[in-house]
Amino acid sequence: MTNEETGTSTPETPAGSLLLDEQLCFALYAAQRAVTAAYRPLLDELGLTYPQYLVLLVLWERGETTVKELAGALRLDYGTVSPLLKRLESAGLVRRERSAHDERSVLVAVTGRGEELRERAAGVPGALLAATGLSGDEVARLRGELWRLAERADGAAGADGH
């Protein structure tokens, strides 16, 4: 596969290459940073950071959920999710409360103010598509490839005992 975007002409990356632009991890890192930067002005209008937006996406999709389930959906640990929830709660966008069925479990739900923000956030995905110039088909293909890569990498990490 020729990579016209970076100007490299090698058909594929040699397995032992230490050239930065030939590293899959660096291409993913650069893409992630660029996409997050493209989200920034859209989310600034909503008063949200990118991680806060992701938390709200899960809650808008699933409704009330436990912190543990939320962390799992976001592939984050509890220690990372907890401060995000605290800031969202301080902003009046979510509420947290102990489960009546299990005192060890904390439930999280979007508040009325958080639901109002959902309407404003509805334009974010389309605005990002417009900003990147990607078609819906391109996004679907790329997203599918990235999820397959994540599954394979998770499998490799699990096979190594990590």
**105-137 tens-digit pLDDT:** 999 999 999 999 999 999 999 999 999 999 999
Residue 1: its pLDDT value, please? 43
**CATH number for the domain that contains residue 40:** 1.10.10.10
Q: What is the mean pLDDT of the chain?
A: 90
Q: Among 90, 110, 26, 99, which Cα is nearest to 66's? A: 99
- 116 is a domain residue: yes
- C-alpha separations of 101 from 66, 82, 104, 107, 143 in Å: 12, 21, 9, 11, 37
- 32 is a domain residue: yes
- 60 is a domain residue: yes
Above 50 in pLDDT, residue 9? no
Residue 16: its pLDDT value, please? 81
Alpha-carbon distance 43 to 128, whole Å? 11
Average pLDDT of 48-76? 97
Query: 33: domain range?
Result: 23-123
Q: Is 115 exposed, middle or buried (0-12, 13-18, 19+ CB in 10 A)?
A: middle
- 29 is a domain residue: yes
- 161 is a domain residue: no
Total domains in the fold of the chain: 1
Give the H/E segment covering residue 66.
strand 65-66
Average pLDDT of 2-17? 59
- 143 is a domain residue: no
Average pLDDT of 53-61? 98
Alpha-carbon distance 136 to 128, whole Å? 11
- More confident call, 102 vs 42: 42
Provide the 3-class DSSP secondary structure of residue 7.
coil
For residue 15, the number of C-alpha atoms closer than 13 Å in the C-beta half-sphere is 0
pTM comes to: 0.84
- 80 is a domain residue: yes
- CB contact burial 95-110 (16+ within 10 A = b; e otherwise): eeeeeeeeeeebbbeb
